[in-house]
Structure 1
């Protein structure tokens, strides 16, 4: 375990020399775009023939009440990782709020099925190891597309691996068959959550790779630095979504 953490520290130090995938002027650092595009096509094809049909069928069969319970359950597990990373960032007051949220939702929310913590003053705070590295000044590095998992940056992709290895409760769940089943259910629900956004955007989006890349980078920027920390890409992205939403019929 000691050697693992030492290796992680060395990798994190190496990342400090990388540029950010997006800066305050909206410049996108995507030097591996040709490779990223190939992985994106692979991911998109896999999604079209397998992941999206499964998520669509699940969404059609599962009532909204049930989906909210599933989202809450896995969200409660994710809060454990947020607590750990908040501690690593030395945000102790925030850490106590996240811990209180986990305890309230686990004990009084029936294992996290119900979010009782938010009304009690413990709103959801998302932290991950990528944000921990950012907290200590490590740049995001270039934009990357991870097979199956999708858009990320070099720093956040590394952070995701650390979160999975150390801070994700499902990683400690046995037997393996149950852990894999729960992990599969988590990602089916996450994919189902995107269906309504896809319908709003529509299919005629021009260069889908650029839309996904720029939207994700802006989302991540806002997640780390707040909604007010807009980049030069924000207005263009907002215009795309606004135009598509105007052309989308209202849902019953």
Structure 2
């Protein structure tokens, strides 16, 4: 469950600086995975299920999941619930729009990489409109003009190139991922122009506030859905794994099959 504004829905998409920390954590985690792999079963039915889940590190992933759910219960969820209580929904939506707009350049570059110039054009126009008239994305003016938001990231771009996802991963606190999406996240860090803005003391303070608020806003977006899964599912880990894998596959197919018009609908309806 990754970001609402980024491709997944676990938390809101981090800023480049926080993303670099995430990538470093991924790299350290991947180093020790080889010794943690679960051997494939010999039973044909069990083997088919094993291959479909694509979760050769399931034992380690489940431990990470349990740790994350413990942290969610005692820290993340209470903070998210307090945030929902204190901050009105319109303001939360505006904050989400700000993060969506800040991530639009990454969407643009990945649309270009996926060979979708019309999608890239829409992302670029959205960014221009919302950064100016939309006050940095606090107001989604571009949506009213016919330029609706769409998701893309380097993990999805690699998927459109035919790069396999690799084994499923569940990273502590960060949530579901895969080898391909881990590599993609590192690419996205390099694609984000905000990663190259010089940071003085004022910008450093803003960056910390930006990161913290974005994380909390992302948790608040997904807290009810996670509560529902934990309540209703017999195996929440498997439910989240399946939902994540299906979502990423559907998003990649959507990009491949996107043959949108050159101009938005409102232009044709003049």
Paired with 1:139 and 1:31, the residues of 2 have a C-alpha distance of 15
Distance 1:173 1:199, change over 3 A: farther
Residue in structure 2 matched with residue 7 of structure 1 by the alignment: none
Runs of 4 or more off by more than 6 Å in structure 1? none
Q: Deviations over 1:5-46 (max 9, x none)?
A: xxxxxxxxxxxxxxxxxx9xx922110100111111111111
Separation in 1, partners of 2:64, 2:252: 26
Equivalent residue, structure 1, for 2:52: 27
- Give the CA deviation at 1:54: 0.8
Q: Is the CA contact (8 Å cut-off) linking 2:156 and 2:251 kept in structure 1? A: no
CA–CA distance in structure 1, aligned partners of residues 80 and 176 of structure 2: 19
- 1:169 positional shift: 2.8
1:120 is matched with which residue?
145
- Is 1:150 aligned to 2:175, yes or no? yes
Structure 1 residue aligned with 2:234: 206
8 Å Cα contact 1:170-1:179 kept in structure 2: no
Deviation at 1:135, TM superposition (A): 2.0
Cα deviation per residue 1:117-156 (whole Å; 9 max; x = unaligned)? 1221211121101012112221111100122210011100
Q: CA RMSD in A?
A: 2.3
Write the distance in 1 (CA, Å) between the matches of 2:196 and 2:68: 24
In 2, distance between residues paired with 1:49 and 1:42? Answer: 11
For normalisation by structure 1, the TM-score amounts to 0.74
Instruction: Mark the runs of 5 or more structure 1 residues left unpaired by the alignment.
Output: 1-22, 230-252
Within 5 Å, give how 1:1-150 maps onto structure 2. 27-150=52-175
What's 2:10 paired with? none
Q: 1:164 to 1:51 in 2, by over 3 A?
A: farther
Question: Of the two structures, which has the highest relative contact order with CA contacts closer than 8 Å and spacing of 6 or more?
Answer: 2
Q: Secondary structure at the match of 2:136?
A: coil
Deviations, residues 77-114 of structure 1 (Å, cap 9, x unaligned)? 12121011112223222211110011111111111101
Measure the CA separation in 2 of the matches of 1:38 and 1:153: 16
Aligned to 2:218: 190
TM-score by length of 2: 0.69
